[in-house]
Amino acid sequence: MRGITKKSRGELIVLSGPSGVGKSTVIAELLSNRRDIHFSVSYTTRSPRVGEADGVNYNFVTREEFERMIANNELLEYAQYVDNYYGTSLKVIQEKLEQGVDVLLDIEVQGAATVREKCPEAVLIFIIPPSLEELSRRLYTRNTDAPEIIAQRLEKARSECKESLMYDYLVVNDTVMSAAQEIQAILEAECCRVHKRAHLVKRIVGE
Amino acid sequence: MRGITKKSRGELIVLSGPSGVGKSTVIAELLSNRRDIHFSVSYTTRSPRVGEADGVNYNFVTREEFERMIANNELLEYAQYVDNYYGTSLKVIQEKLEQGVDVLLDIEVQGAATVREKCPEAVLIFIIPPSLEELSRRLYTRNTDAPEIIAQRLEKARSECKESLMYDYLVVNDTVMSAAQEIQAILEAECCRVHKRAHLVKRIVGE
The whole-angstrom separation of Cα A19 and Cα B68 is 59
Phi first, then psi, for residue B87 (nearest 5°) are: -160, 170
The whole-angstrom separation of Cα A43 and Cα A87 is 5
pLDDT tens per residue, range B157-184:
999 999 999 999 999 999 999 999 999 9
> How high is the pLDDT of residue B2?
42
Q: Is the dihedral of CA B181, B129, A11, B120 positive or negative?
A: negative
**Do B28 and B40 form a contact (C-beta atoms < 8 A)?**
no
Of B4, B169, B204, the CB nearest to A193: B169
Q: Is the dihedral of CA A25, A31, A34, A39 positive or negative?
A: positive
B102: closest CA of chain A, how far (Å): 17
The answer to which of A3-12, A27-36, B122-131 has the lowest mean pLDDT is: A3-12
CB-CB under 8 Å, A162 with B205: yes
Reported in sequence order, the residue ranges of A24-89 that DSSP labels E, i.e. its strands, are 38-39, 43-44, 59-60, 75-81, 84-89
pLDDT tens per residue, range A114-136:
999 999 999 999 999 999 899 99
Coil, helix or strand for B127?
strand
Phi first, then psi, for residue A98 (nearest 5°) are: -65, -30
Cα-based angle B29, B31, B37 (whole degrees, multiple of 5) = 160
Reported in sequence order, the residue ranges of chain B that DSSP labels E, i.e. its strands, are 12-16, 38-39, 43-44, 59-60, 75-81, 84-89, 103-106, 123-128, 169-172
CB-CB under 8 Å, A192 with B186: yes
In this prediction the pTM is: 0.90
A168 CB neighbours in chain B (<8 A) are 193-194
Counting residues of chain B whose pLDDT is more than 90, the rounded percentage is: 74
pLDDT tens per residue, range B59-94:
999 999 999 999 999 999 998 887 899 999 999 899
Q: What number is the ipTM of this complex? A: 0.89
